[in-house]
Amino acid sequence: SAADSQAMMRARVELQGRVPGMIPEIVMLQEMKPGETFDARAALADGDRQVSAVLGGSLDKPVLTAPGERARQWVGVVSNLAARARSSTPTDYPDVAVEEVATSVAKVKTGQIYTAQTSQVMLFLLTMLLAGMVLSNLVEEKGNKIIEVLAAAIPMDAMFMGKLFAMLAVSLVGIAVWGGVGGAIVLAGARNLPTMSVPAVGWPLFLTLAFLYFAMAYLLMGSLFLSIGGMATTVREVQTLSMPVSMFQLMVFFFASFALTSPGTWIDWASIIFPVSSPYAMLARAAQYPDVWPHVVALGWQVFWVIVIVRAGAQLFRRTVMKSGPSTAKRSIWSRLRRAKAY
Q: Express each pLDDT in 231-247 by its tens digit.
A: 777 777 777 877 888 89
Say if residue 42 is in the same domain as residue 110. Answer: no
Q: Binning pLDDT at 50, 70 and 90, where does residue 336 land?
A: very low
Contact in structure between 122 and 186 (CB atoms under 8 Å) = no
Say if residue 146 is in the same domain as residue 197. Answer: yes
Give me the mean pLDDT over the 11-29 stretch: 80
Is residue 19 in some structural domain?
A: yes
pLDDT at 326 over 70: no
pLDDT value, residue 120: 95
Domain of residue 137 covers 106-334
Is residue 29 in some structural domain?
A: yes
pLDDT at 151 over 50: yes
Say if residue 197 is in the same domain as residue 78. Answer: no
pLDDT value, residue 124: 94
50 backbone φψ class: left, alpha, beta (φ>0; ψ -120 to 50): left
Give me the mean pLDDT over the 17-36 stretch: 76
Is residue 181 in some structural domain?
A: yes
Q: How many structural domains is the chain composed of?
A: 2
Is residue 342 in some structural domain?
A: no
pLDDT value, residue 215: 95
pLDDT at 327 over 70: no
Say if residue 124 is in the same domain as residue 240. Answer: yes
Is residue 293 in some structural domain?
A: yes
Say if residue 118 is in the same domain as residue 97. Answer: no
Q: Binning pLDDT at 50, 70 and 90, where does residue 214 land?
A: very high
pLDDT at 330 over 50: no
Say if residue 93 is in the same domain as residue 113. Answer: no
Which of 75, 103, 131 is at the close of a domain?
103
Is residue 95 in some structural domain?
A: yes
Say if residue 272 is in the same domain as residue 285. Answer: yes
Say if residue 146 is in the same domain as residue 166. Answer: yes
Say if residue 152 is in the same domain as residue 270. Answer: yes
Say if residue 95 is in the same domain as residue 119. Answer: no
Is residue 153 in some structural domain?
A: yes
pLDDT value, residue 329: 45
Q: What percent of the chain shows pLDDT beyond 70?
A: 87
At residue 238, what is the residue type? V
Which of 103, 124, 144 is at the close of a domain?
103
pLDDT value, residue 340: 47
pLDDT at 176 over 80: yes
Q: In what order do the strands lie in the sheet with 62-67?
A: 54-57, 62-67, 97-101
pLDDT value, residue 268: 94
Say if residue 170 is in the same domain as residue 308. Answer: yes
pLDDT at 143 over 70: no
- Which of the residue ranges 127-131, 284-288, 303-307 would you say has the lowest mean pLDDT? 127-131
Higher pLDDT, 11 or 280: 280
Which of 68, 103, 138 is at the close of a domain?
103
Is residue 340 in some structural domain?
A: no
Say if residue 135 is in the same domain as residue 90. Answer: no
